[in-house]
Structure 1
Amino acid sequence: MEPPADDRSVGRRAVLAGIAGLSAGAAATTGASAASGLTTTQSTPELTVLTRNVYLGVDLFRLFDARSLDDVRRIAGELLDEVDPGLVRARADAIAAEIEAAGADAVALQEAATLRVQRPSDFGTDSSEPAETVVVDLLAAVQSALSERGLAYEVAASTVTTDVELPADTDDGTADVRLTDRDAVLVRSDLDATATASGTFEAAFSVPALIPGLGGLAVRRGFCAADVTVAGETVTVVSTHLSSVSSSLRGQQAAELLAQLPTDRPVIVGGDFNSGPGSDTAAYERLTAELTDAYAARHPDRDGFTCCQAAGLRNAESRLDSRIDGLLVRGDVSATAASRVGHRASDRIAYRAEGETIRVWPSDHAGVVGTFALAASASVGTATATETARRAGTTARNGSAPDATAGTGPGLGVLAALAGVAGGIAGRLWRA
């Protein structure tokens, strides 16, 4: 079946841009020129932004089954064994292909995690050395894949949110496994970009000490921002990831984020909000009271679901049933196009693993890409959060009360679960 017109817009835009490059007189009406930041038919500068939760690729929910330190060691070892660096690189290349096809000027990444290991484990000793040997680095993998395509993007801004370390039993002996969560903004290297803000939210999921004399643990989320200048126009591009644990936490984090956004220039916020149509909507409504949802404004009658595929990414049929990822804007900026990426069955990649060829999704989330005119020259419409939620349905998939676990996906959204298990068993699990 042919996808809806809005979901073909990225490919169509890339084709038209190519035609324009071959024929100076050709008209390309669907996006910005990657070389100049200007449309080919008018002088209004444009910026194309893609937001993507890139996902490590393992099911951390299995740590819920841990009932003892031995369970943690066993499950952590199994999860480490399941991380295939080659597959991570292949998925990163698929995401780089999306960035290339979209002609993205800036990319907001969430769950751009680094997985490190230390052998043998020094867990439970007096050593304070963290695990440093890198197994996979998703941010570096995406950058490397872009470079291999002849594309140069720099990390304009980044922030480390949660950094947690667990003991593991593996076939090669004991190990410490360290998982570091990051948000980042990538910007084309030929554009002027300056980091302006980054940090973690005060509202955090806290795990109390369950063993006398041991400290508690806070699982944090955050944001980072960079000012990007195109043809003399400056816009702040933000990447953020809100809590997956609690509606009230998400609401507080949304309020903190809004307080950090500049008011003297346009803002484009790319994020995994863990809130939106098809899920709990409280944080989404808080954000869209001040910001405009670009996808909803361009396609008010479409679901545009972005979450979530199966943890192992091998499901043949898409399981997306909520829209929790998006691009929210404010100021003299208007969306001229908005669409999803990585949501079709044809977006899956083939990978050779253990003697067989498997097909996997690039991530458990779909991404969202938008092109924005950096002047209030056209109205994008106003689809309010209430209207959008009503169209798509507002009941959380687990039917839970607002403050219950949202369960929006198997990725770093369950670092809280990981930390909760760890915090109840031993104290040296937190690396700032």
Structure 2
Amino acid sequence: MNSRSKHNVSFLTWNLYLGADLTPIITATPAQIPQRVTEVFRQFLATNFPVRAKAIARAIALEKPDLIGLQEAELWQLIIPTFGIVTYDFIELLLKELEEMGLNYEVAAQNRNLSVELPDSNGNLVRFLDRDVILIRKEKNLKVIRRQEANFQTNLILPVGGQPVTILRGWSSVDVKIDGQVFRMINTHLDPTVEAIRNAQANEILQGPANTRLPVVITGDLNSIPNSTTYNLFINAGFHDLWSKVGKGPGFTCCQAPDLLNAVSMLNQRIDYILFKNGWEPIEAELVGESQKDRTETGLWPSDHAGVSARLNLEDHHDHHHDESSDQIAVNN
């Protein structure tokens, strides 16, 4: 085999943490909503994403991954009628911090999920949009030739202020060409609360974008521990868990305290994954954002999750062109 027939590709997955626990809003009566919205927004301000974005960018800069799957890459807006709109765009803030470190990433695909707008107790509106996004490094010899973005058919429905709200989630994928080779990356964030819904969402991915003969990598917060039902759906479909192949130690990725100020790390379960199938050879995997030195100057953990960073070799496959065309027909959303 000549050296051109192996391609080293690096990936990183990270749940950025939306910045607040939304439970008080979900459990509120209609009359309590404004006060609860104010309290939740205060917690969001306290977990200071602009400051965390610097710490997250620092951790990413040590790895310089080719592709990044982010979950909870949120858009928060405070709409003050007498003043204007204050926007916290996690993607924009992080891209800017990375750029200041000399790293140029761009959005390759994103799925827009739950969107809500609620009044606070100060006469303002708070708007929130949940997103998951795939970033790709511009300097690298990587070309996106196909993009898919979709929401799940099956989602959790919760009463918020007496109204049913669909906690919309989804996935996105990119087909990436590197020196004539094509692979697919899928990024997702599965439902944390109801196993049946989580399994349905996993199956939508397995029957959709993951149903391909292309080399494929899934990054995401699957909200399920190793050997759980959801996890086993992926394994039984032929996916390999990269951490279990080349990771060292338990690889816990979840979860720090909601205010991100717990003294000692509270990570005690592994729910964030890089999974692979069809012609990859795993090289290494490690956690990011999990150690005391990763915290912000103000003591915040970069996120309530650790991220997972990995490198894989893409083996040479000669029948990709055939696969690619059959995929174009087989997968549509």
* Alpha carbons 2:5, 2:315 under 8 Å: kept: no
For 1:145 and 1:346, locate their aligned partners in 2 and report how far apart those are by CA, in whole Å: 18
Q: Paired residue for 2:182?
A: 234
TM-score by length of 1: 0.68
Q: Does 1:58 align with 2:20?
A: yes
Give the drift of 1:245: 1.6
- Partners of 1:233 and 1:253 in 2: how far apart? 29
* Mapped contact 1:226–1:238 kept (Cα < 8 A): yes
Larger Rg over CA atoms: 1
User: What secondary structure sits across from 2:302 in the alignment?
Assistant: coil
Residue 251 of structure 2 is matched in structure 1 by: 304
Structure number with higher strand proportion: 2
| 2:153 equivalent to 1:205 | no
1:208 & 1:97 partners in 2: Cα distance?
39
Matched, 1:217 2:165: yes
- Residues 227-251 of structure 1 show CA distances to partners (whole Å, capped at 9, x for unaligned) of 2222322211111000012011111
Query: In the alignment, is residue 147 of structure 1 matched against residue 96 of structure 2?
Result: no
CA drift at 1:376 = 7.0
CA contact (8 A) 2:73 2:90 kept: yes
* Shift in CA distance, 136/220, structure 1 to aligned 2, threshold 3 Å: same
Q: Relative to structure 1, is the Cα distance of residues 167 and 194 closer, same or farther in structure 2, using a 3 angstrom cutoff? A: farther
Specify the alignment match of 1:421 in structure 2: none
Cα distance per residue 1:164-216 (max 9 Å; x no partner): 1111113xxx11111100010000113212442111111111246996xxx74
Contact residue 49 and residue 371 of structure 1 kept, 8 A = yes
The secondary structure found in structure 2 opposite 1:228 is strand
Partner of 2:236: 289
Distance 1:219 1:64 in 2: 11
Name the structure 1 match of 2:269. Answer: 322
2:311 aligned to which of 356, 371, 383:
371
1:105-120 maps to which residues of 2 (within 5 A)? Answer: 105-120=66-81
1:160-179 alignment runs, 5 A limit: 160-170=112-122, 174-179=123-128
What is the alpha-carbon distance in structure 1 between the residues aligned to residue 49 and residue 245 of structure 2? 34
Structure 1 residues 228 and 69, CA, compared in 2 at 3 Å: closer, same or farther?
same
How far has the Cα of 1:314 moved from its partner?
Answer: 0.6
**One-letter identity of the residue aligned with 1:257:** I
Q: Give structure 2 stretches of 5+ with no counterpart.
A: 318-333
Gaps of 5+ in 1: 1-40, 122-131, 352-358, 378-432
Tell me the equivalent position of 2:143: 192
Give the TM-score taking structure 2 as reference length. Answer: 0.87
CA offsets 1:327-357 (integer angstroms, 9 cap, x no match) = 0111111211111111112211213xxxxxx
Q: What does the per-residue CA deviation read over 1:32-72, in whole Å, with 9 as the maximum and x for residues that have no partner?
A: xxxxxxxxx88621110000000122222233552x33321
Identity fraction in percent: 33
User: Are the equivalent residues in 2 in contact too, given 1:156–1:195 (CA < 8 A)?
Assistant: no
Residue type at the aligned position of 1:273: L
Decide whether aligned partners of structure 1 residues 251 and 376 sit closer, same or farther in structure 2, where only a CA change above 3 A counts: farther
Checking the alignment, whether the CA contact within 8 Å between 2:288 and 2:307 is kept in structure 1 is yes
Distance of 2:316 and 2:305 partners within structure 1: 31
Where do residues 97-108 of structure 1 align in structure 2 (5 Å cutoff)? 97-108=58-69
User: What RMSD over aligned residues (CA atoms) do the two structures have, in Å?
Assistant: 2.4
Shift of 1:150: 1.4
| Counterpart check, 1:350 vs 2:307 | no
Aligned partners of 2:67 and 2:137 also within 8 Å = yes
**How many residues align structurally?**
311
Equivalent residue number for residue 214 of structure 2: 265
Distance 1:109 1:302 in 2: 23
Q: Aligned to 2:7, which of 40, 45, 60?
A: 45
- What is the letter of the counterpart of residue 220 of structure 2? G
